[in-house]
Chain A
Amino acid sequence: MVDLVSIKNMPKDVKVLLLKELGFDSDGTFVVDKDGKRVLDKYIEEPVKINNMFIFPGSTIILDDNPLSINSFLEEFGDVL
């Protein structure tokens, strides 16, 4: 099980720094990959906004933190949080 760290009040530039350390970036609103393409939430198939990120370690899964994606993630990966 991993601990959850809230980034709700983390300054935007620090979030971008965090993303860069993980091999991602932001176009100002959305999370982008190393090629500059917007990262899509695999469950809702929509681009993930920098203000709605859920980032899980391992193969670095980046999702939108809405209830549908979170419940789908928990169903797929089990009791990991």
Chain B
Amino acid sequence: MSEYDPVESAAKGITKGALEWTKDEIGQKVKDLITKFRNKDIAFVEDVETIKIAKEQLSTSEWMLFSSYVKDKKLRILFRLGLTLRRLEETGKPFDDLKIKIIKKYDVEGFHIAQCVQSGIFSKYIGNVLERATTPEKLKFEMENLFKSIENTVVFIQTTDKEKERTAEIIAKLRANSPKMFIISSMGEATMKKCESIADNIMKTVSNYNFELYQTGKRKIFFLNKKD
């Protein structure tokens, strides 16, 4: 038996109704809707799907974990947007418009935070830090620290990147900031090959980090963990 969905039902109801209203009925029907609206029983939306996707993400284990520790409003919105981006990607829906809106509002750094969630880096990162975050306070610190220092700890390889320059840039960041963990992420076949080559070059140069590779069909992510 299918589950009753009030959102879906309401959406179907009004769509069918509005199209079938006669000219004489429109005025009264609109007034009825306004009465319900003023009683705070209904809200109007063009695309119910956008809200459904946003709400679905609130029941993911990632959101539940993150939201219970992190109260920073900007980080919480970017985290939600990262989950939404992932959902859009998974369902084959376009997400370029959302990407542009995120960059316009939160700059590239904000988009990188959302991308970190979208690509699954956050959940793998948490799995990695749980070993050393021995208290809830430390875990909260590690979560916030990943995002607040994202430009120094995570790089997203682009198809337009030049290997030599990107390799040198990452090595410089490792030497300058000496992070406990550094992440090199890539998405798409061409970028994944480039990412692997960059990681290989870094491995040959940097000896104080262990390299761990996570790979899915579309992504290749290297986690560089600083040796004790």
Contacts and interface: CB of A to CB of B under 8 A. Distances in A.
A51 to B, nearest CB: 6
B19 interface: yes
Given A5-B10, A74-B55, A65 B41 contact: no
B105 A6 contact: no
A11 B27 CA distance: 13
A67 B30 contact: no
A67 B54 contact: yes
Interface residues of A, number: 36
Contacts, number: 143
Interface string A35-76: 000000001100000011111111000000111101110111
B38 interface: yes
B19 A9 contact: yes
Given A2-B43, A22-B34, 15 more contacts: A3-B7, A3-B41, A5-B33, A5-B44, A7-B45, A10-B18, A18-B44, A55-B37, A55-B45, A66-B98, A71-B54, A71-B77, A71-B84, A74-B80, A75-B80
